[in-house]
Amino acid sequence: MTSLLTLTNVSKRFGGLLAVDDVTVSFEEGQVLGLIGPNGAGKTTLVNLITGVEKPTTGSIEFRGERIEGLRPDKIARRGIARTFQIVQPFPRLSVRENVAAAALFAGHTPSLAEASHQADEQLAFCGLQREADKPAGSLTLAGRKRLELAKSLASRPKLLLLDEVNAGLNAAEIDDALRLIGDIAGRGITVMLIEHLMKVVSRSCSRLLVLHQGRLVADGPTAAVMKDKRVVEAYLGRRYAESQMDQAT
């Protein structure tokens, strides 16, 4: 597979805190990856580095063969990297359609408001929000706001989509719906990385799993193998998870 994104010896220091520590990793086109780790492991900081919110202290980031570290977030978005946020904050008084149209305009792929509105309707239909298009975004349920966040990110026509805790706060049925939608997104050829705490989500949706611990990448490989890795169990999954896996095997 062709390497889509490559991080080489990337570190990020905030004063005396080394939040990301010498991470080297490549993402391949068409993958669905998971990124897990304890709170404070550096997951969100890593996403911020990829999307330009933060600049790395050391190291390089290449996207589709082009160095992007140090570029502004809007420049990186226009090159094909989109993200969602754990805390969903739409423009509450704008309509659902207007929220998505604004994202399409921000990414720079639409020449007019009319085209942005058309793009918004396409993504709302894909995400199952077409009936909500004219409602204020603030009226949506949490699950609806999560779908709106996905529609906004898709309106930028990304090659790489980073989903930060997209299932947080959802019930089991809503998570099932979200996983089907993520599968449909991957079916479009978009590389997806899920930053997750729910192991059932990771195990069901991700073919590859990355694990951060104290800013370092401690595991990277097929999901099933990584979830059995002793370092991962000790650092993140815990003894109870390991015992449950042993019970299932017997």
41 and 54 belong to one structural domain: yes
In a domain, 96, yes or no: yes
Does residue 203 contact residue 28 with C-beta atoms inside 8 Å?
no
The domain boundary, picked from 157, 181, 199, lies at: 157
What is d(CA 128, CA 49) in angstroms, rounded to the nearest whole number? Answer: 31
pLDDT of residue 108: 64
What is d(CA 21, CA 221) in angstroms, rounded to the nearest whole number? Answer: 19
Which residues are within 8 A (CB) of 214 and not within 5 positions of it... i.e. 6 or more apart?
Answer: 21, 41, 42
Read off the pLDDT band of 250 (50, 70, 90). very low
pLDDT of residue 247: 47
The domain boundary, picked from 157, 182, 209, lies at: 157
153 and 194 belong to one structural domain: no
Range of the domain at 121: 91-157
Q: What φ, ψ does residue 149 adopt, rounded to 5°? A: -60, -40
The domain boundary, picked from 125, 157, 189, lies at: 157
Name the residue with higher pLDDT: 14 or 165.
14
175 and 153 belong to one structural domain: no
Single-letter code of the amino acid located at 203: S
| Structural tokens at position 39 | 């709170």
At 28, which CATH number? Answer: 3.40.50.300
25 and 45 belong to one structural domain: yes
Q: How many domains does the chain have?
A: 2
pLDDT of residue 244: 53
170 and 61 belong to one structural domain: yes
Does residue 119 contact residue 110 with C-beta atoms inside 8 Å?
yes
140 and 166 belong to one structural domain: no
65 and 153 belong to one structural domain: no
Does residue 215 contact residue 41 with C-beta atoms inside 8 Å?
yes
115 and 10 belong to one structural domain: no
**What does the pLDDT look like over 121-178, one tens digit per residue?**
999 999 999 999 999 999 999 999 999 999 999 998 999 999 998 888 889 999 999 8
Statement: residue 180 has pLDDT above 80:
yes
